[in-house]
Each structure stands twice: as C-alpha cells, then as structure tokens.
Structure 1
Amino acid sequence: MSSNAVLGLLRPFMLDRFLHMLVLAGMLLFAMAPQPLAVLCDFVDWRTIVTLLGLMLLTKGVEISGYFDFIGRQIINTLRSERWLAMFLVFSAALLSSFLTNDVALFIVIPLTLTLRKLSSLPVGRLIIFQALAVNAGSLLTPIGNPQNILLWSKSSLTFMEFVGLMAPFSLVMMLSLLVLTWFSFSARSISKTPNTQVYPYQTRLLMSCVALYVVFLVCLNFDVPFYGMLVVFLCFLIMARKVLLQIDWSLIFVFIAMFIDIGLLTQLPAVQPLLTRIASLPDSSVYMLGIGLSQVISNVPATILLLSYVPSSVLVAYAVNAGGFGLAIGSLANLIALRMAGERMIWLKFHYYSLPFLAWATLVGWGMLL
C-alpha cells in the first residue's frame, strides 16, 4: 500500500473531533470504573458494527460505479421543482425505512442525494437533515423498521400487524407533520442545474456485483450471520475493487465502537447503579420522559436495552424511545450516520434547528396518544 493510501486512511481519524471526544470520555469513565478488556468488548453491539460496515462497503461500491450520478440526473429531469423533489426524497426515505430499517434506507438515499450537489444548486444539506428525520418517523411504524423496535417486538407477544397497528397513529402524525414542514421549507422554484456537468457511463459490472452482494448480505442478516455476509462483501471488494476499501469512512466504525463502550462504562458507575434500580417503580409518565431523556444522552437503542432490563416491553416504551430519536443528533444512530455521510461541518448545527422542535412535538404527540 502506498504512503498516499495510508495517509488517506489515517486522515479521517486525525480530523474526527467527535471520535477524539468519545475516546477522551471513555478514558475518563474507565478511570472512574475500570473494567476488564472482555467486558469492554461485550459492551459493543458487534452485530450493529458488522451490519454498518457491510452497508458502507456496498454503498461506496455503488457510488464508485457511477450509478448514483445517472439516477440523480434522471430524478432532476423528472422532478423540476425543489419542493417536489424534496417531498419525493423525504417520503422515499420514510417508506424505505419502514421495511428495510432506517440505516439501510439512509445508505440508499443519502449517496443519491449527495450526487445532486454535483448536478444542481439544491440545498443538499437541508435535504439530508429532512431525510434523517424521515427515517426516524417512518421506521417507527414497523417492528423491523429500526433496532429498538426489533428489540421491543422480540420481547412482546404481538404479531407483526398488531405492532404496526399500535405504532401507526404515532407514525402517521409524525410523517404528515414532517411532510408539511418539508413543503414549507423548500422553495417552489425550478431546480437550477449546474452548467456543463459531464455525464459518465456507470460501471455495469461493478454495479451488478454490488447488487448481487447486497442480496447475499441481506440474506445473511436475515439468518443472523451478518459477519459472514460482511466477510464475503469485504473479500469481493478486496479482489475486484480495492478502491472501495480505501474510500469508506473507517473512522465512523470506530465512532460507534467508542459510543458503545462509553455507554457501557457510564452504566457501570457506582453513582448510576442505584438510580437504575429505581426505574421499575417509576410511574408511566416518568418512564416515558426517562426513555426520551436517555435517548438524548446515550441514543435510543441503548436506552431501549437499558429500560427493558427493568420494565416490560410496551407501547409506552416504544413511543418514548422512538420519539427520543429526534432532538439531539446522538438520539438516534441514524442521525449520526446521515450527518457523517453529508460531510458538511455546519450541518450539525442546522440539524438541531429542525430536530429539537420536532422532538418537542413528538413528545407531545406521543404522550397525547398514550392518555
């Protein structure tokens, strides 16, 4: 491997301030509550890590094939208004997240959205923010829409359609609210296309290979052997397209590993342990607010795992942790994925301009439906 390639791999780690903060926080927490290495490894949800890596590899492969450029041009030529393009992309993200999970949906729609930056003067950053909100709103509908719902469903006795029936009112209100917000947040003016944008033919062989590998990977996920699926994807790209391995955001993988370890260490603090044991005796309103609050601090998937250790799976917990996906970026892993993929420094601040009011609205709507 050349020195330039090594430098290219290391640069994201050197510039990733969020990762640096997580590492420093982890060192401080470890000093306060030391744990054996095996326990630190157990804190990490390796299924999530492996799934994330596999999806990142596949998405980067499709991106390098040039197919997103082709599709992006077709969309712009069909939907000529910024407003209708935004409505289409936001609704598509929500719909995909209901059945393919929120992270899979993002790995389909975000790279496509990013290609629009090369083809037009669209406010791509704002589009990505709304797509992040959309996958949170759409994924809460089904038991397979996001990791927290999968956990809640597995701990309940509900059928697939019974779960959907309980979540549908909340999801519908949040999705309609987001579409209304999208309508007023994007201009009705025609899309201004970037002049002299070259069109490159996409690499059919690489694209078809990615599609085939995607099927293999999803089958492995379905049979709960994600590591083997990721290994197949990794080895295939190592043989036929090493450029994919060099261009994915490896530091994002370590961000998630550091988050899991930090959260695990936080729950082991002696000062925190007595507080956790009191959760089972809390009234419904307190459990609801605790689920939302924990999501803002440790993300909604770990918050779900923690709550289910003390209270049974219920629509109350489901509404709380799904509402908690809005608000701060850390509220949902999907938010972090979307904002990292956007690659814009100021997008983190802009995201909270929309997401914090949406959290307040989701909190009110969810509690109103539970009464």
Structure 2
Amino acid sequence: MTVIKNIAKDRILQITVVITIISLFFARPRIEDINFHTLYSILAMLTIIQIFSYLHVLDVLAYKLTASARSTRRLTAIFTILSIISAMFLTNDITVLTLIPLYLTIARRHHLPEILPVTLIGMGANIGAAFTPWGNPHNIFVVNRYNVSPIKFFSWSIPLLLVSLIIVLVFIFFVKDKPIPTVPLEDIRISIRPMLLTIAVSIFFFFGVFNIVPAYVPAIVAVILALIINPSIMLHVDYALLLTFTCFFIFISDIQQIPFIVTLISKTMFSEHSVFLTSIISSQFISNVPSTILIGKFTNFAEALFLGSNIGGFGSIVGSMANMLVFKSFVENGTVSKRKFFWVFSVLEFAGLIILTVLGWIVLDFVI
C-alpha cells in the first residue's frame, strides 16, 4: 500500500497522467514509439540507487568527510564536491534528497549558513549528473535514441563538467569563512560484500546503457540483487518516475501524430543551435526530462539536445526535478526565510544557466 500511495501522490506523475489522457483524445499511441530500452535502463538505475541507499554508502562518505571540516567554506566545498561526485553515479535526485537534509541537520546544530551552501549542493548535483549517461534519466534516453558511444558521450560532457566546476568553485568563495566545531562522526557501517556486489552490478548496468548487452538483463540482475540483500528495497524504488517516463512516451507518440503540433515543433528544429536553445528554453517551463523526450522525436542533432537538456536543468526551479527537490528539502528542513532562499537560488541558477549557454554555443560552433 505504501508503494501505491507514493506513486499516487507524486505531483509530476499526476500532471503527466492528465496530459497523457488528454492526448489520447487526439491519437492512439504506437507501441514502437515506446522506448523500452530506456525504461529497462531506468528500472535498473533506480534499483541500484536504492541498494546503495539501503547500504548507507553516501551517508558514511558524507559523515567521514565532514568530520574533517574546520570552517563553513570548507564544509560547503566538501558537500558540493561530494554532491558532484555522487550525482555522477547515484543521480542528482537521490544526491539532493540525501545530502541537503544531512547538511541542514549539521547547519542547525552549529548555526551555520544555509541558503548559499544548499544552493551549491543542488547545483553540484546537476553538474555531476550531466557528466555520466546514467546521472540524468534523460541522458539514458539520448544515448539509446541516438546510439551514442562512450567516447562520443564523454567528449560532450567533459567540457560541460569543467566549466561548471569553475562556476561553483567561484560561488563557494562567497560563503563566509567562519570556524566551526568538529562535526561528530556518526556510527554508520557498510556491509562490504553487498556493496562490492552492487558496484559490480553498476558496472554491468553500464554495458546495458551502451547496448553492449540487452538493457533488460542488467535490470533483472539489479532486481534479483535487491531481493537477495533485502526484498524491502524494492518497495522504495521510484516507480512513479518509471511510470512518468512511460506516460511521456505515450504522450509524445500521440502528439507527433497531430499535423499542427508536428509542423509547429519542426519549425524550431532547423539547426543545431535552434535545437540547443529550444531545449534550454522549454526545460525552464516543462523540466528537462519531458523536454528531451519531446524534442528527441523531432531532431537528429544529438549533441545539441544533450547540451541543451543538461544546461536547461539550471535556471528555473522547474528546470530539473532535482531543483524542485532542492526547494522541497529546504522548505522541510531549513530554518531561514524560504523566500530569500528562492531568490538566491534562482539568481545563482540563472547566472550558471547564462554562462553555460554561452559555453554550449561555443562548443557547437568550434568543438563538435
């Protein structure tokens, strides 16, 4: 029942279901338009994430690293860097949901700044997630849709990562540097054997993403491992996200059969730069996941779509699911003005968006 309740109360899924139902009045979905490879890969990813969460891997890393922090700036830097690295492997959503409540717990205990550090942790999650094919769910879609090789993918993501790192490192220096007491280390232990097995399955998942093995095989292996470690792990998998992607595919299958919509969207797909900008702008209003899937049906400019969708995750609070989760976590755990947080978060996010948009434009002109 808990699983069903969690699915039913997911706002993004609710909106997607309504939009999908409306689209069914105009057309019927075609089975070939549903990308099952992407759905299998997302199921595997979500299962692996929950196994790592159950094993408290990220919690242990966070507590061990923060135990050595001596100042507010250093603590912020540690959390931001940890956010970037963990999002590369565990996605930006799970990173945000784990690290932000943890940081705010420490901040309340020692009266530390909240707004800027939380904003940087959220930005770090988006940066790290953009770097790997599985960090963002829509990256999986791009890899599968265009059959992108690992070398090609990382040739796109590395420039984005490097410039993004410079941006957050500059922002970190705006955190007031004050000494803090030693953060006590919590007694959290990791089971080594299950962790090693999960890492092995994660590597196997990599083969599925890049079509080296059928995508359903890593998904089955991940589910079996979760059931062996603890069957309750499967109760915490984000099935709402999986259903949301399924609805996206159905909705897009429907609307691409409507001539007026096809003509309208096609007019914005005439070049790499137009796809790039369309992806960024649409992400600000409908989030980068549905934007990627929608635009991906109308263009073959994979590089532009990748850059636009990941850069589009910056900016507005709906630019990515992670942004919404950052705000939600701050509302639930923060102790200072939510309105002030919203404005600081928005200003820094849009500053990052502008800088990265310029970078993306340059990459399309001179690198790719």
> TM range, normalised to the smaller chain?
0.7 to 0.9
Does the Cα contact within 8 Å between 1:142 and 1:163 map onto a contact in 2? yes
In 1, distance between residues paired with 2:132 and 2:57? 30
Report Cα offsets for 1:49-69 as digits up to 9, x if no partner.
322322222222232234433
Letter in 2 for 1:34: A
What aligned pairs does 1:174-323 form with structure 2 within 5 A after superposition?
Answer: 174-184=164-174, 186-191=175-180, 199-222=187-210, 223-279=212-268, 282=270, 286-297=274-285, 299-300=287-288, 313=301, 319-323=307-311
- Structure 2-normalised TM-score? 0.72
Q: 2:7 aligns with which of 6, 13, 35?
A: 13
Q: How many residues align?
A: 348
In 2, distance between residues paired with 1:255 and 1:65? 27
In 1, distance between residues paired with 2:40 and 2:294? 22
Does the Cα contact within 8 Å between 2:80 and 2:124 map onto a contact in 1? yes
Does the Cα contact within 8 Å between 1:114 and 1:342 map onto a contact in 2? no
In 1, distance between residues paired with 2:202 and 2:131? 24
In 2, distance between residues paired with 1:194 and 1:238? 35
Report Cα offsets for 1:206-250 as digits up to 9, x if no partner.
333323333333344442422111111212322341121122332
Letter in 2 for 1:250: Y
* Counterparts in 2 of 1:236 and 1:105: CA distance versus 1, 3 Å: closer
In 2, distance between residues paired with 1:342 and 1:248? 22
Letter in 1 for 2:75: L
Q: 2:16 aligns with which of 22, 25, 40?
A: 22
Q: 1:336 aligns with which of 321, 343, 368?
A: 321
Find the counterpart in structure 2 of residue 116 from structure 1.
102
Does the Cα contact within 8 Å between 2:93 and 2:325 map onto a contact in 1? no
Q: 2:28 aligns with which of 7, 30, 35?
A: 35
Unaligned runs of 5+ in 2: 333-337
Q: What RMSD over aligned residues (CA atoms) do the two structures have, in Å?
A: 4.3
Quick check: 1:324 aligned with 2:312? yes
* Counterparts in 2 of 1:9 and 1:305: CA distance versus 1, 3 Å: closer
Find the counterpart in structure 2 of residue 133 from structure 1.
123
Task: Please give the secondary structure, in 2, of the residue aligned with 1:201.
Answer: coil
Does the Cα contact within 8 Å between 2:204 and 2:218 map onto a contact in 1? yes
Letter in 2 for 1:323: I
Letter in 1 for 2:329: E
Does the Cα contact within 8 Å between 2:12 and 2:244 map onto a contact in 1? yes
Letter in 2 for 1:227: Y
Q: CA deviation at 1:162?
A: 11
In 2, distance between residues paired with 1:46 and 1:192? 51
Does the Cα contact within 8 Å between 1:66 and 1:200 map onto a contact in 2? yes
- Structure 1-normalised TM-score? 0.72
* Counterparts in 2 of 1:360 and 1:200: CA distance versus 1, 3 Å: closer
Report Cα offsets for 1:92-119 as digits up to 9, x if no partner.
544676xxxx564537844652573596
In 2, distance between residues paired with 1:191 and 1:336? 32
Letter in 1 for 2:204: V
Q: CA deviation at 1:132?
A: 4.6
Letter in 1 for 2:61: I
Q: 1:52 aligns with which of 34, 42, 57?
A: 42
Task: Please give the secondary structure, in 2, of the residue aligned with 1:208.
Answer: helix
Task: Please give the secondary structure, in 2, of the residue aligned with 1:271.
Answer: helix
In 2, distance between residues paired with 1:230 and 1:159? 20
* Counterparts in 2 of 1:126 and 1:54: CA distance versus 1, 3 Å: farther
Does the Cα contact within 8 Å between 1:296 and 1:330 map onto a contact in 2? yes
Report Cα offsets for 1:231-280 as digits up to 9, x if no partner.
11212322341121122332232223223333443443332122234346
Letter in 2 for 1:188: D
Letter in 2 for 1:272: I
Find the counterpart in structure 1 of residue 335 from structure 2.
none
Letter in 2 for 1:336: M
Letter in 1 for 2:49: T
Letter in 2 for 1:79: A
Report Cα offsets for 1:258-306 as digits up to 9, x if no partner.
23333443443332122234346x5776454323223445555665666
Find the counterpart in structure 1 of residue 68 from structure 2.
78
Task: Please give the secondary structure, in 2, of the residue aligned with 1:120.
Answer: helix
In 2, distance between residues paired with 1:140 and 1:109? 13
